[in-house]
Amino acid sequence: MDALISGQAEVAVLIEPDSMRRFHVDDPETLVPCARSDVPYLFANVDDVVRLSATTHDAARRELERLWQQDRGMHLLLILLDREEEQDTRREAAECLEDLLGIEAVEAVETFLGDRLYARPLPAQGDPAAACRLARAANAGRVVRFVEDLDSNQPYVLDRRTAWDSLPQGLFACAADKRAFDDLLIARGYFRRAALAGEDRSRVDAVWVELLADRALARLPDHRRVLLAWKENLVLVRATQRREVQPEPSGDPSAESRRPKKVRPGHEILDRIERQKKAIEALLTRGKRSQALRFAAQLVKYQEKNSTPEQIAKTLCDLARRAAQCGCPEEQLSFASQAVEWAPFDPQTHNHYAEALVSLGRSEEALRAYDETMERFPDNVVARNGRAEVLKALGRSEEALRAYDETMERFPDNVVARTGRAEVLKELGRFDEALLAYRDTTATFPHNRVARNGLASTLVLMSRHEEARAMLGTPEPVCLADWIDLHVRGMIFLKEGNLEEAVAIFQKGLDCPFPRQRAYFRTALAIAKLRAKEYEAAARLASEDRLAGTLSAVIRLHAYGELHDEEKAAAAYADTLKSRNPTAARLREELGARYVLRPPDHVWQSDDWVFEQECFLALAA
Partner 1 sequence: MVLSERAIEDRASVFEENSLVFVQRTATGVTPPPTGYRATWKDRHRLAVAKLASRIELGTRPDDFPAILLWVGPTREDDKFIEVHICGAIHQRAIERVVGPVERKRENQIIQKSLRRELAKIGIPLETL
**Radius of gyration over alpha carbons of the chain, in Å?**
31
Do residues 519 and 513 make contact, with C-beta atoms less than 8 angstroms apart?
Answer: no
Kind and range of the H or E element at 246?
Answer: none
Nearer to partner 1, 32 or 174 (CB): 32
Amino acid letter, 372:
E
Which of 14, 100, 167, 357 touches partner 1 by CB under 8 A?
A: 100
Nearest approach, Cβ of residue 468 and partner 1 (Å): 29
Q: How many residues bind partner 1 (CB under 8 A)?
A: 19
Nearer to partner 1, 1 or 39 (CB): 39
Q: Is 428 a binder of partner 1 (CB under 8 A)?
A: no
> Checking DSSP bridges between strand 27-34 and strand 2-6, what pairing results, if any?
unpaired
Cα torsion angle, 614, 552, 398, 425, sign = negative
Q: What is the full DSSP assignment across 504-565? A: HHHHHHTT-SSHHHHHHHHHHHHHHHHHTT-HHHHHHHHHH-SS-THHHHHHHHHHHHHTT-
Query: Within its chain, how far is the Cα of 241 from the centroid?
Result: 22
Nearer to partner 1, 99 or 341 (CB): 99
- Residue list 179-218, contact with partner 1 (CB under 8 A): none
Do residues 348 and 332 make contact, with C-beta atoms less than 8 angstroms apart?
Answer: no
Question: Contacts for 360-364 with beta carbons within 8 Å, 24 or more apart?
Answer: 360/329, 360/330, 360/332, 360/333, 361/549, 363/390, 363/393, 363/394, 364/394
- Residue list 500-529, contact with partner 1 (CB under 8 A): none
Nearer to partner 1, 100 or 459 (CB): 100
Q: Is 98 a binder of partner 1 (CB under 8 A)?
A: no
CA dist 366 → 336, 354, 372, 465 (Å) = 13, 5, 10, 36
Q: Is 81 a binder of partner 1 (CB under 8 A)?
A: no
- The CA distance from 39 to 46, in Å, is 12
- Residue list 17-46, contact with partner 1 (CB under 8 A): 26, 33-35, 37-38, 41
Q: Is 96 a binder of partner 1 (CB under 8 A)?
A: yes
Query: What residues contact residue 427 under an 8 Å CB cut-off, 6+ apart?
Result: 392, 397, 581, 583, 620
Nearer to partner 1, 89 or 285 (CB): 89
Q: Is 92 a binder of partner 1 (CB under 8 A)?
A: yes
- The CA distance from 287 to 306, in Å, is 29
Nearer to partner 1, 96 or 527 (CB): 96
Nearer to partner 1, 86 or 375 (CB): 86
Which of 93, 147, 204, 383 touches partner 1 by CB under 8 A?
A: 93
Binning the chain into helix, strand and coil, the percentages to the nearest 5 are 70, 5, 25
Do residues 302 and 272 make contact, with C-beta atoms less than 8 angstroms apart?
Answer: yes
Nearer to partner 1, 92 or 399 (CB): 92
Strands across the sheet containing 11-16 = 27-34, 19-24, 11-16, 2-6, 50-52
Nearest approach, Cβ of residue 92 and partner 1 (Å): 5
Nearest approach, Cβ of residue 37 and partner 1 (Å): 5
Which of 67, 79, 468, 505 touches partner 1 by CB under 8 A?
A: 79
Nearer to partner 1, 147 or 326 (CB): 147
Which of 21, 89, 214, 540 touches partner 1 by CB under 8 A?
A: 89
- Residue list 54-73, contact with partner 1 (CB under 8 A): 72
Q: Is 339 a binder of partner 1 (CB under 8 A)?
A: no
Nearest approach, Cβ of residue 388 and partner 1 (Å): 32
Nearest approach, Cβ of residue 100 and partner 1 (Å): 8
Q: Is 85 a binder of partner 1 (CB under 8 A)?
A: yes
Q: Which residues bind partner 1 (CB under 8 A)?
A: 26, 33-35, 37-38, 41, 72, 75-76, 79, 82, 85-86, 89, 92-93, 96, 100
